[in-house]
Amino acid sequence: MSGVRSRRVARSFLIALALCAWCGWVSGFHHSMTPALAAWSASLAGVVGIDLLMWRGGHGGRLGLPRRPAAAAWPPPGRESRVLRGIWPWLVLVLVVVVWEVLGIDTGPHQAHLTVSALALAFRPFDAALLLAWILVGLGYGAARAAAPEATPGQAGRMRRPEVSAGAVAVLGPHPGPAPALLLPDNRAAGVAFWAGLTVVCVLVEVASRRSGGRLATAEEFVRLVSGPPAANALFVVAWAYAGWHLFAH
């Protein structure tokens, strides 16, 4: 068992190293150029291909990556009326991102734009990290959907009537605005600190959710909850693909 585990750790390390190297190399291409479009298209094709293999594996198909279905759908039985209590940390994080991006878009022409796309253009390491995050989000979303548990008829009926609505946030690029920034500091380091801090907070929320005994939804459970309806699933996929094209190819 120890030998198998060591091989898995070594394989995971090599995959992570190769992925980081790919993102670092791609970040050197100037956006809106053919090489950047080609590199992003290759990244997109890789993520979609792996997601399809995970989906086939989760549904018993051949030539698929093994993916065990989740034991049960979230929320646990008896807590259907407490959905908002279980997902409020993730909703707050989404709201914070939306507010930050909106305020960043309103930045004046002589101030540093702190939207995620502007910082990616300003700092190559940030661009590489953002591409890595975009790829991991795509893979994580595919893994979450592939592991969706089989629903009973009663559960399926409840899933078709979600208690919360889902939306997709399109990440907008920087452009000069007629007014100065409303509340954001004129300092790109503050923008980098915000996004880095947001990542740390997401990790902490995930850890707290895993230790809550089902009271809080994990990121995977939250994704499956809000993307259950086919229309929401399609909307999230399109928004993710568009955000990648806008951030790394346009």
Q: What residue ranges do the domains of the chain occupy?
A: 2-248
Q: Does the pLDDT value for residue 178 go beyond 60? A: no
CA distances, 34 to each of 9, 29, 127, 131 (Å): 36, 9, 17, 17
Instruction: Tell me the average pLDDT across 12-41.
Output: 91
Q: Which residue has the higher pLDDT, 161 or 19?
A: 19
Q: Which of 41-55, 57-71, 130-144, 212-226 has the lowest mean pLDDT?
A: 57-71
Report the C-alpha gap between 90 and 110 in whole angstroms.
34
CA nearest neighbour of 1 among 9, 176, 199, 20: 9
- List, for residues 27-74, the tens digit of each pLDDT value: 999 888 899 999 999 999 999 999 888 888 766 666 667 666 666 777
User: Two tokens at 143?
Assistant: 């893994």
Number of H helices, E strands in the chain: 9, 0
- DSSP string of 130-193, one letter each residue: HHHHHHHHHHHHHHHHHTPPPPPHHHHHHHTS-SS-----PPPPP---SS--SS--S-HHHHHH
- The per-residue pLDDT for 157 is 43
Lowest pLDDT segment from 56-70, 114-128, 137-151, 162-176: 162-176
pLDDT of 213 strictly over 80: yes
Taking CA atoms, 67 is separated from 18, 53, 54, 60, in Å, by 22, 9, 6, 9
What pLDDT is stored for residue 63 in this prediction? 63
Q: Is 50:247 a contact under the CB 8 Å cutoff?
A: no
Structure confidence by residue, pLDDT tens digits, 81-129: 678 889 999 999 999 999 998 888 877 777 788 889 889 888 999 999 9
Q: Are 103 and 184 in contact (CB under 8 A)?
A: yes
Residue 185's pLDDT band (boundaries 50, 70, 90)? Answer: confident
Query: What's the confidence (pLDDT) of residue 183?
Result: 66
Give the count of beta carbons closer than 10 Å to the beta carbon of residue 201. Answer: 14
pLDDT tier at 5, thresholds 50, 70, 90: confident
pTM exceeding the 0.85 threshold for the entire prediction? no
Is the Cβ–Cβ distance between 107 and 2 less than 8 Å?
A: no
